[in-house]
Each structure stands twice: as C-alpha cells, then as structure tokens.
Structure 1
Amino acid sequence: MVSRFEHAPARATPFRTAALGAVLLALAACGSENGARPCALVYSPTGISIDIAAPDASRVSSASIRACWGGTCRTRHVALHPSSTSVPLGCDGDGPDSACGASASPDGGRHGFAAITDLPASPVQVTLTLRDRHHRAFLDQELRLTPKPAHPDNPHCATGVQAALTVANGQATAR
C-alpha cells in the first residue's frame, strides 16, 4: 500500500536537465559581486622562504630560522633543495598561436621554506643561521622584516602571510 506521503521517484527529463544546466551556467558566469574576479583555489602557505645564491649555497649543510614577534618565538629547520633558472628554448613562430618553450637548468643555488603557520603580517625579528658540513655557523645574521599577505592571483584573495630572505656574498637581505 502506498501512503499519500510517498511519491514516485523523480525522473530527469531532458527539459529538467537542460534547465538545471542553464541555471548552473548562469551562476558560474556571474562570478562575484560588482564584477570582481573570483578567487582561485590556490594555496599559499604562511612562512619565510630562503634563496641562497652560488657559491654560498655550496657551503651550506643546514639552515634554520628563528622568528620572534610579540613575545613569541618560533625556530624552524629549513630543508634546502637545489634551485634552477629558466633557459628559453625559443618559439615556433611569432603569431598569437605560437608555442614557446623553456627548460630548467641548475644554477648552483639552493632554496627552502620555513612554514610558520602563525607568522603575523607585522614586523618580525628573524635570525638566519647557515651551517657548513662540520656544523660550524658561517652565517648567523639577525634581520627585521615585515611579512605580507600572499596574493597568488588576485589582490583580494590573500591565503597566507609570507616573507623572503636572499643570501648572496655571505650576506642575508629581506626582499
């Protein structure tokens, strides 16, 4: 016996499917309010990056960062990886449909990232320590820097707070 509250299952008719598709397409085309570009689902982690140029990079066996603000300090070991530079391979033409290529070439440098999830977007005192293979510190430098919100694709879509350090000629600088 079928109760009066039970209904037959709804079937998708071509009209319903087309109507639903049109509604979804219209919503997707709307984007966001006031014509602003919607935020992409791009993740930007919070922390401090380090780029070490050659020949300093060849001396580095380990790196650490100590960041302090408002009575809070965080120390992170930084895993370093070989860095590379982009080498153009040319284009197959000059028109708008031309394809161009590039290749990554090792540049003798190293880079890493210290994830500090609660890093503020305000001044931070940072100590960068680079050690050689004998664990001797050959760079132990304090810097003051101000991390900034990262905007991967849209200035209204910050997803993390970041700062960057560069080491060249035995000296660290904030960028």
Structure 2
Amino acid sequence: MRAGVHGFGALILVGAVAGCASTFGGGGVCTEIGVPVGVSLDVAPSDAAGARSAEVEVCWDGRCRGSEVELSESTESVDEGCEDGACTARSVPTGGRHGFAFVDALPTDPVEVGVVLLGDGGTELFTGTTTVTPQMLEANGPGCAEGGPQAGVVVEDGTLRER
C-alpha cells in the first residue's frame, strides 16, 4: 500500500510539472488580477495643503459620470541601505495626496476630466478641467488579456494636467 501512495504522489508531481512546462512554454502565466477602471488623481505637495477629498467628473459622448474620492497621504520609499545581505527601506510621507475615481464603461477615446479639491467642511480649494486619453492596461503583462482602461491626472502648481 505504501508504494502505491508514493507512486500516486509521483504521478501528481509529474502532471504538475508537465502542466507548468506547457504554461511557461507559452510565454508565461496569466493570473486573475483585475484592473480597476477609472481615473487616478495625484495632488502634488504644493497643492495638497488642506485637501481631504475630491469630486471627479469624467465626460465623453455628451454624458458625464461623477465620483467622490477620498484622498490618502502619498508616500515614497527611502532606501536605508544594506547590512549583512539584508536591505531595508521605509515609507515616508511626501506631503502629497492621492485617490482613485472608479468610472464604469470608461472608453479609450479622449475624455474630459474635471476635478474639485475639497477641504474640511467641503470648502473648495481647487477647480480644474483637462482632457486625457485612457489607456488599456495589461495587469498580468504582455500576452495576457487586457484588464481595462485607466487614465491619470495630477494637480500641480495650481493646474490640472494628464499624468
């Protein structure tokens, strides 16, 4: 009985290796990671003071879709060096803010994006509009199915522009 169990395990292992080999031979593995469809918003440190949320409106073909976006603190990684083969980094605030507006049925044609930055109590801190062209993303890399369109805008030096 024991030899039968080992033989069965070996067959499973051979099958798994063969399956992986055929997958890798085809150019890689495609996962089921999705792509959020919409517009990302970055607010530069120079424009982020007091910004807590944003209203983002995306328009195309005579129709507009609006979204309220909570802004989060932006960070960056700072290399802290390596010691005894172990490298470390830490995350530090940049002073900027960021968020994402989910937009159903976003096309890959040019769209108009309007942004209103809001402070505490809904005070309007900034209003701007720009045109951007969303791009299809391949979250799983080349050769895998496209995940969905995204665009990005940034508020910097008092203007709204495509990222």
Aligned to 1:54: 45
Q: Which amino acid aligns with 1:14?
A: H
Matched with 1:44 is: 35
Q: Who is 2:132 aligned against? A: 145
**Which deviates more from structure 2 when the two are superposed, residues 102-111 or residues 63-72?**
63-72
Corresponding position of 1:129:
116
2:66 aligned with 1:78, yes or no?
A: no
Considering fraction of residues, name the structure with more helix. Answer: 2
Deviating above 4 A after TM superposition, structure 1's stretches of 4 or more consecutive aligned residues are: none
User: Helix, strand or coil: the match of 1:58?
Assistant: coil
**Cα deviation, residue 156, structure 1:** 2.9
* Deviation string, structure 1 residues 39-69 (Cα, Å, up to 9, x no partner): 2333321111111111311132331111011
Query: Could you list the per-position Cα deviations for residues 97-124 of structure 1 after superposition, in whole angstroms to 9, with x for gaps in the alignment?
Result: x332110001111110111132112211
Paired residue type of 1:21 = L
TM-score computed with the length of structure 2 as normaliser: 0.86
Higher strand share: 2
Match of 2:54 among 50, 63, 71: 63
* Alignment coverage as a number of residue pairs: 159
Structure 1: which 5+ runs fail to align? 1-11
What TM-score do the two structures reach when normalised by structure 1?
0.80
Alignment pair present for 1:89 and 2:87: no
Secondary structure of 2:48's match?
Answer: helix
CA contact (8 A) 2:41 2:99 kept: yes
Say whether residues 1:106 and 2:93 are aligned partners.
yes
Q: Aligned AA for 2:158?
A: G
TM superposition shift of 1:134: 5.1
> Structure 2 residue aligned with 1:21, among 13, 38, 46?
13
Q: Could you tell me whether the CA contact under 8 Å between 2:52 and 2:70 is conserved in 1? A: no
Q: Which residue of 2 aligns with 1:172?
A: 160
Cα-Cα RMSD: 2.0
Q: Percent identity?
A: 33
Query: Secondary structure in 1 aligned to 2:31?
Result: coil
